[in-house]
Structure 1
C-alpha cells in the first residue's frame, strides 16, 4: 500500500524532515544551547517564520514533532479498516514510520541527539504517551468501545511493544529487513504464541 504523501503535503513533509535533520545534527554536535533557530533556518534554507510554522521549539524540531501532521488519511483508513484490529494497528504504525522517513541513519541521529541532551528523553517519552493515548481513543472509536475500556489500551500497548522491539532490530548492526516486515513478523509470532490451538505452537 502506498502511504507516501503527494503534492503540497509531500513538500511540507520534505521541509519538516530537512529541518529535523539539521536540528538533530547540531544538537548531537553542540547540545541544544549551542545553536540558534536562525542557524537551523540558514542550514535548512528556510525563514524563521517557516520554522515556527512547523515547530514550536527547537526540542520539537529535534524530536520531529511537526505541527503539520500528515496522517489523517492513514487514520481514516484505520477507522474504516476491516482486517483484524491488531493487523490494522500494525499497518498504521508501519505507515507512519514510512511517512516519517525513519531510516537507520535518522534513528541514529535521534539517538546521538538524545545522548548529548538527555532531557530530550523525557520529552520523547511524554510524546510517546500522548501518541499512545491518541491511538487508544482511535481504537475505542473504531471498535465502538466505551472510554477507558482496557481492551483498547491493551491492543495499542501490544502493538507498541512489538514496534519497539522491531525498532531495536531495525537499527542493529547488519540488519537489512524493512521495519514493516520486522513488525509483521513479531505480530505473527505473538498471535501464534497466544493461540488457543496447541498445535500452532508445536
Structure 2
C-alpha cells in the first residue's frame, strides 16, 4: 500500500515539475502507475494531495495505535518524537524526493499554501492525539506545547537529514535535538527560583 502511494506521489511530482498541475490528468498518473482511477482516490483526495504526498490514510496506521496504546506516561515527548520519525521513515524522504517536491512547488507555487495548510491540520490532529492519550481536556496547552516542541525540533532536523553525505537517521537527528532541548529546559528550571 505504501509503495503504491509513494509511486503515485513520485509520478505526480515529476509531471507537475514538467508540465504544471493543469498539464496532466489523474488518468495519466494512473496509467503510468498502473492503477485504476478508483485506486488513486482510495489513496488521495485530489491531484494536489498526490503531489504533496498527503495520503487519506495518515492516521490509520499502526504507529498511531502504538502511540495511543502507551497511555499517559512521562515518555510523551520521546513517544511523540518516535511517532514523527516513523512517519518520516514511512514517507521515505530522500534528497532526490526533496528535489522533486521543490521542483513541483516551483512549477506550482500555490501548492506551498496547501502544504502549509496541511501542516497546521496535521499539528491539530496530533494535539488531539496527545489530549486523548494523556487524558487531557480539549485545548489543554500542554498537548499543544508537546506537539509544537517536537514539531520544531523535527523541522530543524530536516536540513541536517537532507544534507549531502548525511548518514545519520532522521530518528537519531531528532533524538539529539530532543536531548538538547531537554537539557536546556532543565537548566532553565534549575535557575528559576
**TM-score normalised by L of structure 2:** 0.90
Coordinate RMSD, CA, aligned: 1.8
Counterpart mapping for 1:37-48 below 5 A: 37-48=26-37
| CA–CA distance in structure 2, aligned partners of residues 80 and 45 of structure 1 | 37
> Residue 65 of structure 2: which of 48, 51, 76 is its match?
76
Q: Would the alpha carbon gap of residues 138 and 23 (structure 1) be closer, same or farther in structure 2, given more than 3 Å must change?
A: same
Q: Would the alpha carbon gap of residues 151 and 68 (structure 1) be closer, same or farther in structure 2, given more than 3 Å must change?
A: closer
Q: CA contact under 8 A between 1:108 and 1:171: conserved in structure 2?
A: no
**Counterpart for residue 156 of structure 1:** 147
**Counterpart for residue 23 of structure 2:** 34
Q: Would the alpha carbon gap of residues 198 and 125 (structure 1) be closer, same or farther in structure 2, given more than 3 Å must change?
A: closer
Tell me the SS of whatever aligns to 2:186: coil
- Runs of 5+ in structure 2 lacking a partner? none
**Counterpart for residue 96 of structure 1:** 87
**Counterpart for residue 145 of structure 1:** 136
CA deviation string 1:153-187 (max 9, x = no partner)? 01100000000011121112332211111111100
- Runs of 5+ in structure 1 lacking a partner? 1-11
**TM-score normalised by L of structure 1:** 0.87
Q: CA contact under 8 A between 1:24 and 1:109: conserved in structure 2?
A: yes
**Counterpart for residue 53 of structure 1:** 42
Q: Is 2:94 aligned against 1:116?
A: no
Q: CA contact under 8 A between 1:71 and 1:96: conserved in structure 2?
A: no
| CA–CA distance in structure 2, aligned partners of residues 24 and 186 of structure 1 | 31
